[in-house]
């Protein structure tokens, strides 16, 4: 193999590694409601929270995204550029479910509906549509979060 081919292969390898690292840089953890657990990505900075689950064409049945905020507030969510319907669960600082929006549909034209609640949340969990009903998640339920977020 000549020198030029080695350089090209080396650069391609580095680009592939960087793409993999940045594409999958989100931290993953588990969130549980009683015996029902979900493998979730963590969105804990502004960029991760802004991007959320945008442009995802599929979400594994037992997975989702946990949005972690710097403080309690009334956080609104919309479905702009979200391609799959979701259930949205707001969680307070005491790890209790305080509100649920089932069947939040993708926004097909602007202005997109913003789902906001009257109470302050510290976390918001997005999971596949229908799981809230199937698993039986209700307002007042306790949520087990990783120790990093206790």
Residue 145 or 16, more confident: 145
- For 71-89, what is the mean pLDDT? 96
The confidence band for 24, taking pLDDT boundaries of 50, 70 and 90, is very low
For the chain, the domains span 26-149
Any idea which of 7-11, 32-36, 54-58 has the lowest mean pLDDT? 7-11
Give residue-wise pLDDT tens across range 118-139.
999 999 999 999 999 999 999 9
Q: What's the pLDDT score for residue 5? A: 67
User: Is 143's pLDDT higher than 80?
Assistant: yes
User: Is 12's pLDDT higher than 70?
Assistant: no
Would you put residue 143 in left (φ > 0), alpha (ψ -120 to 50) or beta? Answer: beta
Give residue-wise pLDDT tens across range 35-76.
999 999 999 999 999 999 999 999 999 999 999 999 999 999
Which CATH entry fits the domain spanning 26-149: 2.60.120.1140, 3.20.20.10, 3.30.1360.30, 3.40.50.12500?
2.60.120.1140
Best CA proximity match to 97, nearest among 73, 65, 64, 132: 132
Q: What's the pLDDT score for residue 135? A: 95
- For 106-126, what is the mean pLDDT? 95
Best CA proximity match to 115, nearest among 127, 100, 131, 96: 100
Q: What's the pLDDT score for residue 4? A: 76
| Averaged confidence pLDDT in the chain | 88
For 144, the 3-state DSSP assignment is: strand
């Amino acid at each position: 193999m000549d020198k030029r081919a080695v350089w090209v292969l080396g650069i391609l390898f580095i680009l592939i590694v960087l793409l993999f690292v940045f594409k999958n840089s989100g931290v993953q953890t588990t969130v549980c409601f009683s015996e029902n657990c979900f493998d979730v990505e963590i969105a804990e900075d502004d960029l991760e929270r802004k991007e959320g689950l945008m442009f995802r064409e599929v979400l594994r049945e037992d997975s989702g995204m946990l949005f972690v905020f710097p403080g309690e507030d009334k956080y609104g969510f919309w479905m702009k550029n979200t391609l799959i319907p979701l259930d949205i669960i707001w969680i307070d600082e005491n790890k209790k479910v305080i509100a649920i929006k089932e069947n939040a549909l993708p926004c097909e034209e602007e202005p997109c509906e913003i789902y906001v609640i009257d109470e302050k949340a510290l976390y918001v969990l997005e999971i596949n549509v229908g799981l809230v009903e199937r698993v039986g998640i209700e307002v007042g339920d306790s949520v087990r979060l990783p120790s990093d977020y206790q």
